[in-house]
Structure 1
Amino acid sequence: MEGAVVTIAVDAKRATASTAKPSPIAPLALLADAGLDVPVLGGRRVPHSNLDVAASAPALARVARAAADLLPWYSSVHRGTGFPSQVVTELVEDARTAIARHVGARDDDVVVFTRNTTDSLNLLALAVPGETVVLDIEHHANLLPWRDRRTVVGESTIEATLAALDAELARRPAALVSVTGASNVTGEVLPIDRFAAVAHAHGARLAIDAAQLLPHRTVDLAASGADYLAASGHKAYAPYGTGILVGPADWLDAAPPYLAGGGAVDRVGLERVSWHTGAERHEAGTPNVLGITAFAVALDELARLGEPARLEHEHALADRLERGVAALPGVRVVRGFSDAADHVGIVTIELERGSVGLVAAALAAEHGVSVRAGRFCAHPYFDRVATRSNGLRASLGIGSSSADVDRFVAGLAAIVADGPREMYHRTEDGWRPIVDDRPRPAVFTRG
């Protein structure tokens, strides 16, 4: 089977952008996996360039230390009488308070802990007393849960999209509008305050899928006017399996408990059950103590670094990345809105010819660069704004460096010019090297 399918000619020397000024933060000092070398084909190891942060962000060093410090104290939450149980119960509730503060929750908002953003939006979908309107730009997590959704097709500008949403709500009122805070395809940030104003003008509430927004920007529910927020810890440098749903309690108190089990009940009889209200109503079972604590610590660390420094770091790298790929013929950056004023560090490209899946596999196997190929769980949006069936996404985080960007651009330039150096075949799990000699970490024994 052929290993090289991309035949675009390119001058690799043009691919590396000019040297940027030093970052205001020290990215490698922030991550728990700083200095990680990954194996590549041929028995070599190279520094890992992780440009797939939008999928799952690595743990911050402070987050990993907090999780390690907590492990010896791990115990039952809310029910135990031992001192470790009291400690972890306090940590969970302190984390709830801290997260509420970090996202600008109002005094009467509740913070419900879930597994991830998808879980949070599915919970909210069970509680909405009426129809929900979404945009076609949404991640599947914010498309699939809505039972009675109506979709507004986004226009080529944010202004036109707001007008289309206004017209739809005027034509037929809804209880909720649910939109992404930042697109996981293009990185474009929506003006949340303006979407909230349109929704409220028609008597609807606004929910924000903040999975991509929260790791990159300060989010303030009260200041923006948004009513609900859903987000995941694993997108925000706390990859320990916790999500949040934050917002008014009334709809959630009126909804059936999301899970039926211990912790969600006040009194249980064989004929009748009395359910709690508030966050407890939807948090049956033992909570993810490590994940909840890690999420709060991660948000605190992001706040400590400060948004101005994080923005300067991100904008410099995103500009370096975009200029690098723009130097490559046959490469197109995917955009959705011509008037988007802000972008998080996500760049999705298309190739005129060849398989982006093969390119992504070769970047990983031959260059130690992690990216994502596909339609990024946002099929309707990708189908509308892209010209090819799949794209390749490079996503940046606070641990990304100019060296990561340069290695990606140089590797991409070499692959689109000459094809992969090694031979690959397509499997059910995507493109894989025909001969893969990369050792796996000895975390467990496969058998």
Structure 2
Amino acid sequence: MTGIDVETIRKDFPILAREVHGKPLVYLDSANSAQKPQAVIDAEADFYARHYANVSRAVHTLGSEATNAFESARDTVAAFLNAPSRDEIVFTANITAALNLLAYAFSNATTFLGAERFRIGAGDEIVVTEMEHHSNIVPWQLLAQRTGATLRWIPLTEDGRLVESAIDDVITDRAKIVSVVHQSNALGTINPVERIVARAKAVGAYSIIDAAQSAPHLPLDVQALGADFVAFTGHKLYGPSGVGVLWGRYDLLKDLPPFLGGGEMIETVTMEGSTYAEPPHRFEAGTPMIAQAVALGTAVDYVTGIGKDAIRAHEHELTAAALEGLRSIPDLRIIGPAHNVERGATISFVVPGVHPHDVAQLLDEQGIAVRAGHHCARPVCVRYGVPATTRASFGIYNTLDEVDALVAGVRKVKEVFA
């Protein structure tokens, strides 16, 4: 294996010590939700046990401790993303909430004074790709319906990559928003986001990157990416569920209309009207996900301590072994890039004659946890003519022995259904 000490890392994750159906757990569903190291579990529990209070509202000791911990997590996330300012980090419930925040903020710009540059309407276009998660399709469909804009998408090749020649054809000077996934949750494909962002910039469109799958696995530098907005979610980054992050350029956030109204996001309130706080608080109405944000900061520190380059190398090796092993199974079809180039540690496949749910169930009986379904990316399944796929996805705690267990498990499934 690569330089990562996997056996030591595995000891940090208590759930990996358990058994399923009398067999050691082989957890291959990190693209769905990653497991949590003890440090993250302890951080959330300790906050509730010793420091809990609401943030930015009290001058007592617990209130100060809670606020400091919450804002310290914001600093940690800003450093993780190489953000120019901590005030560009908005905490949300998850990446779905972050993308919906943007979509509704754009529609609120129709009547919001000073937000003229965000206004979108008939004749404007919103661009996504055919491989997007539903969270990066449905909010933009709804925005198009509210405003009269048109939704367009960059199509896919047979091997699960974007049709590169279509990038310039689809992103035209009518584009107002270009929102694309960095790494596909269904295909594993790593997209040429720098090129897409550059094209969006050239036509004057706002660029948004869905980094839910790339944040745990790839170096993520928002300044290098050059996008206007980047979002990710905590539970895939070995952090808690219930917390996500929206990063945006400050010059955009300061003019972007709010999405939710309520406490904390205001500057002044009268019965006649209100003015709004500066970013990021403008977009954090109500009591935020305090303990979850604190624990997310711990998860970021954990991942940073291991090193993104080391993580990438480790998972690249796992993916190469899994692709080789799965390709050796007669008739098995990989949905997505068949070779380990510009792809992440996620592999979707179909066993002919066996429904993906049956594959997943029989693998579970062997202690192997994978996901089956359309993975909230149904247009991908439609594109490749399959009702669903079985998906194995790897993380920092997986081993080559577990890859071997997956391949052997799929072979056994074929034998059962032969």
Output the TM-score relative to the length of structure 1: 0.82
Return the alpha-carbon distance in structure 2 between the equivalents of residues 155 and 355 of structure 1. Answer: 24
Offset at residue 169 of structure 1 (A): 2.9
Structure 2: give runs of 5+ residues left out of the alignment. Answer: 107-117, 145-149
Cα displacement string for residues 11-61 of structure 1 (whole angstroms, at most 9, x for unaligned residues) = xxxxxxxxxx46523255354325432331xxxx22211111100111123
Q: Do the aligned residues in 2 keep the contact of 1:249 with 1:278 (CA within 8 Å)? A: yes
Cα displacement string for residues 172-192 of structure 1 (whole angstroms, at most 9, x for unaligned residues) = 422221100000011111122
Return the alpha-carbon distance in structure 2 between the equivalents of residues 339 and 318 of structure 1. Answer: 9
- Shift of the 78–160 alpha-carbon distance from structure 1 to 2, 3 Å rule, reads closer
Return the alpha-carbon distance in structure 1 between the equivalents of residues 339 and 377 of structure 2. Answer: 21
- Shift of the 109–206 alpha-carbon distance from structure 1 to 2, 3 Å rule, reads farther
Structure 1: give runs of 5+ residues left out of the alignment. Answer: 1-20, 421-447
Report the counterpart of residue 26 of structure 2 in structure 1: 49
The alignment status of 1:58 with 2:35, answered yes or no, reads: yes
Return the alpha-carbon distance in structure 2 between the equivalents of residues 299 and 412 of structure 1. Answer: 34
Return the alpha-carbon distance in structure 1 between the equivalents of residues 282 and 68 of structure 2. Answer: 19
Q: Greater shift after overlay, 31-40 or 235-244?
A: 31-40
- Counterpart amino acid of residue 97 in structure 1: D
Report the counterpart of residue 5 of structure 2 in structure 1: 25
- Shift of the 69–393 alpha-carbon distance from structure 1 to 2, 3 Å rule, reads same
Return the alpha-carbon distance in structure 1 between the equivalents of residues 7 and 393 of structure 2. Answer: 15
Report the counterpart of residue 106 of structure 1 in structure 2: 84
After TM superposition, list the pairs within 5 Å mapping 1:39-438 onto structure 2.
39-40=20-21, 45-71=22-48, 72-107=50-85, 110-128=88-106, 129=118, 130=120, 131-146=125-140, 147-148=143-144, 149-156=150-157, 161-170=163-172, 172-335=173-336, 341-364=341-364, 366-384=365-383, 386-419=384-417
Moved over 4 A (4+): 157-160
Q: Do the aligned residues in 2 keep the contact of 1:264 with 1:284 (CA within 8 Å)? A: yes
- Counterpart amino acid of residue 345 in structure 2: G
Offset at residue 401 of structure 1 (A): 1.7
Return the alpha-carbon distance in structure 1 between the equivalents of residues 151 and 177 of structure 2. Answer: 10
Q: Do the aligned residues in 1 keep the contact of 2:190 with 2:343 (CA within 8 Å)? A: yes
Q: Greater shift after overlay, 246-255 or 300-309?
A: 246-255
SS in 1 for 2:259: coil
Q: Do the aligned residues in 2 keep the contact of 1:108 with 1:249 (CA within 8 Å)? A: no
- Shift of the 315–29 alpha-carbon distance from structure 1 to 2, 3 Å rule, reads same
- Counterpart amino acid of residue 119 in structure 1: A
Return the alpha-carbon distance in structure 1 between the equivalents of residues 94 and 320 of structure 2. Answer: 30
Report the counterpart of residue 17 of structure 2 in structure 1: 36
SS in 2 for 1:78: coil
- Counterpart amino acid of residue 93 in structure 2: R
SS in 2 for 1:373: strand
- Shift of the 345–339 alpha-carbon distance from structure 1 to 2, 3 Å rule, reads closer
Cα displacement string for residues 212-261 of structure 1 (whole angstroms, at most 9, x for unaligned residues) = 00000011111121221110000100023100110124444444422221
Query: What root-mean-square deviation, in Å, do the aligned CA atoms of Structure 1 and Structure 2 show?
Result: 2.2
- Counterpart amino acid of residue 381 in structure 1: V
Report the counterpart of residue 436 of structure 1 in structure 2: none
- Counterpart amino acid of residue 175 in structure 2: A
Return the alpha-carbon distance in structure 2 between the equivalents of residues 341 and 216 of structure 1. Answer: 15
Q: Do the aligned residues in 2 keep the contact of 1:233 with 1:239 (CA within 8 Å)? A: yes
- Counterpart amino acid of residue 168 in structure 1: V
- Counterpart amino acid of residue 375 in structure 1: H
Offset at residue 387 of structure 1 (A): 3.6
Q: Do the aligned residues in 1 keep the contact of 2:264 with 2:284 (CA within 8 Å)? A: yes
Q: Do the aligned residues in 1 keep the contact of 2:319 with 2:340 (CA within 8 Å)? A: no
Q: Do the aligned residues in 2 keep the contact of 1:185 with 1:376 (CA within 8 Å)? A: yes
SS in 1 for 2:376: coil
Q: Greater shift after overlay, 48-57 or 409-418?
A: 409-418
Return the alpha-carbon distance in structure 1 between the equivalents of residues 415 and 8 of structure 2. Answer: 31
Return the alpha-carbon distance in structure 2 between the equivalents of residues 27 and 145 of structure 1. Answer: 41
Report the counterpart of residue 147 of structure 2 in structure 1: none
Q: Do the aligned residues in 1 keep the contact of 2:33 with 2:236 (CA within 8 Å)? A: yes
SS in 2 for 1:175: strand
- Shift of the 155–359 alpha-carbon distance from structure 1 to 2, 3 Å rule, reads closer
Offset at residue 139 of structure 1 (A): 0.5
Return the alpha-carbon distance in structure 1 between the equivalents of residues 321 and 74 of structure 2. Answer: 38
Offset at residue 367 of structure 1 (A): 0.9
Larger Rg: 1
- Shift of the 48–254 alpha-carbon distance from structure 1 to 2, 3 Å rule, reads same
Q: Do the aligned residues in 2 keep the contact of 1:180 with 1:210 (CA within 8 Å)? A: yes
Return the alpha-carbon distance in structure 2 between the equivalents of residues 127 and 144 of structure 1. Answer: 15
Q: Greater shift after overlay, 104-113 or 374-383?
A: 104-113
SS in 2 for 1:246: strand
Query: How many residues in Structure 1 have an aligned counterpart in Structure 2?
Result: 392
- Shift of the 220–412 alpha-carbon distance from structure 1 to 2, 3 Å rule, reads same
Output the TM-score relative to the length of structure 2: 0.88
SS in 2 for 1:394: strand
Cα displacement string for residues 389-430 of structure 1 (whole angstroms, at most 9, x for unaligned residues) = 11100000001122322222212211211249xxxxxxxxxx
